[in-house]
Structure 1
Amino acid sequence: MLKNKTIIVTGAASGIGAETAKTLKAQGATVIGVDLNQPDTPVDQFVKANLSDPASIDQAVAELPKGIDAICNIAGLPPTKDRAAVLKVNFLGLRDFTEKMIDKLNDNASIVNVASLAGLGWPEAGDQIKALITLRDFNAAEKLCEEQGVGQSDGRSYFLTKETLIVWTMMNRWTWRDRGIRMNCVSPGPVETPILPDFLETLGERAEEDAKVMDRPGQPTDIAPVIAFMCSDGSDWIRGANIPVDGGMYQHVMCEMHGHN
């Protein structure tokens, strides 16, 4: 249970974020929603923030209290959105917000980044990932896309941000170990949320093939309990991990890739 814990949920107004806020509340947590839009799901406090804008992030951080026990980084844009905006919200803004919140976290706090099955190709994307991790200037996101061959119509911006988020999480496995602060990823597969049609539009035939393999699409209710567990004291010794919650799709892809089917 999460009684007496105060937890921030970014992207709390819809999809997995809304369901996570609901689940955390049900387990006794005080929940602070951070989003562009006011959540319909009841939260204890709402702070408006645009994660593509460093000034908005600064303002949100200033409004948020100290004594935070967990951050659930769930806000994100789908692959159909502008490529530079996807880079900003899904990684640059997430990182900026998280780093600026460290001083407001309690010792032994948990940071849970929601990545994606789309990030499984990170071992082959080294140069692009290094370029994005190095980037600190939000205004240079479009330039990075040009230099790294990140197209607008191919959804690559989304895949790159999720690959980078997984690697950044692994890199930070022990960054705040002196304070007991841990960081991990949860990677959902295809989930029925308002942005699912955006993925189907981008992935086309690949999405159809995935649908044939899976027993069913995921639901936010499949993902939120795992995020909640990662906020709990029971996950204390899980650090820098990427936890797939995808009906077995990650394992399916790995077996196919390495000839173990």
Structure 2
Amino acid sequence: MNDLNGKTIVVTGAASGIGAETARVLWELGARVIGVDRNAPDAAHVDRYIRADLGDPASIAAAAAECGDGIDALCNIAGLPPTRGRVPVLTVNFLGLRAFTEALIPRLADGASIVNLASLAGLGWADAVPAIKAMIALRDFGGVAALCDAHGVDDARSYFFSKEVLIAWTLQNRWTWRERGIRMNCVSPGPVDTPILGDFLETLGARAEEDMRVMDRPGRPADIAPLVAFLCSDGSAWIRGSNIACDGGMHSHVLANMYGLS
């Protein structure tokens, strides 16, 4: 079911963390992997590297064109941590991701899969719908700061908000390309032990400390990559517009507490 032999799959953020592990897993399952990143990924598990800056519309357009046609899956894994500031975080984590995805849509094969890496941090998206709608409506990369000012999104909140928007955008696109069999889903990890885990702990402070006490351990890229790979496979064709938690039970823990079930 997870056999990806012969499929061409684009992975953004392939140089480190979850993106690097996903590229490795996909490659070992037989896929031809195109790694898109600002930094060069491990050549052992990437058949082709395309440099791109997801904060730069010109770079995004050039990278998408360079990917070629007949792409069977796109894994949107590249992203910035909350320490980078609200404008870069929202620009890369949503506007750039969306622009790259939309540029690749004509290049995707029928039946292709799009997998967005969201986060447990986006759990509260339903409480931020007006701001989310405004962000989805924004097309100007230069308009992020003004939108943040209008909706009270500061640096500390920017990462949460970027993932809330990504989850909502995924839900919106559950059937957008259904006539071509193209599906979009997202995966929401909890805290994962990657090079940017320290950035999250620094920004989230007491909340992160509480999460780490509840969890038996932080996640690992190897916990997340197989789920992304499954969503790229033909076996996941009936999963559409879903946000799948992969977080050691943290999503369930939050819901159980919220509804008095713990």
TM-score relative to the length of structure 2: 0.98
CA distance in 2, matches of 1:62, 1:221: 30
Matched, 1:244 2:242: no
What are the superposed Cα offsets for residues 194-248 of structure 1, whole Å, 9 maximum, x if unpaired? 0100000011111111111111110000000000000000000000000000000
* 1:2 aligned to which of 1, 4, 9: 4
Query: 1:32 aligns to what SS in structure 2?
Result: strand
Query: 2:191 aligns to what SS in structure 1?
Result: coil
Partner of 1:187: 188
Superposition RMSD in Å: 0.7
Equivalent runs, 1:172-183 vs 2, <5 Å: 172-183=173-184
Partner of 1:230: 231
Tell me, yes or no, if the aligned pair for 1:10 and 1:73 is still in contact at 8 Å. yes
Matched, 1:98 2:101: yes
CA distance in 1, matches of 2:203, 2:34: 32
CA distance in 1, matches of 2:22, 2:224: 8
Q: Which amino acid in 2 is paired with 1:247?
A: G
Identity %: 66
Question: Displacement, 1:145?
Answer: 1.2
Partner of 2:209: 208
CA distance in 1, matches of 2:176, 2:230: 21
CA distance in 1, matches of 2:122, 2:160: 6
TM-score relative to the length of structure 1: 0.98
Partner of 1:257: 258
Equivalent runs, 1:1-261 vs 2, <5 Å: 1-42=3-44, 43-152=46-155, 154=156, 156-261=157-262
Moved over 6 A (4+): none
Q: Which amino acid in 2 is paired with 1:141?
A: V
What are the superposed Cα offsets for residues 118-165 of structure 1, whole Å, 9 maximum, x if unpaired? 00000101111111101100011111111111112x2x1110110010
Q: Which amino acid in 2 is paired with 1:77?
A: L
Question: Displacement, 1:260?
Answer: 1.0
CA distance in 1, matches of 2:42, 2:35: 10
Tell me, yes or no, if the aligned pair for 1:13 and 1:41 is still in contact at 8 Å. no
Q: Which amino acid in 2 is paired with 1:190?
A: P
Tell me, yes or no, if the aligned pair for 1:182 and 1:236 is still in contact at 8 Å. yes
Unaligned runs of 5+ in 1: none
What are the superposed Cα offsets for residues 46-97 of structure 1, whole Å, 9 maximum, x if unpaired? 1110001111101111211100000000000001102101011000000010
CA distance in 1, matches of 2:144, 2:58: 16
- In the alignment of these two chains, the number of paired residues is 259
CA distance in 2, matches of 1:61, 1:27: 24
Query: 1:247 aligns to what SS in structure 2?
Result: coil
Q: Which amino acid in 1 is paired with 2:199?
A: D
Unaligned runs of 5+ in 2: none
Question: Displacement, 1:106?
Answer: 0.2
Question: Displacement, 1:40?
Answer: 2.2
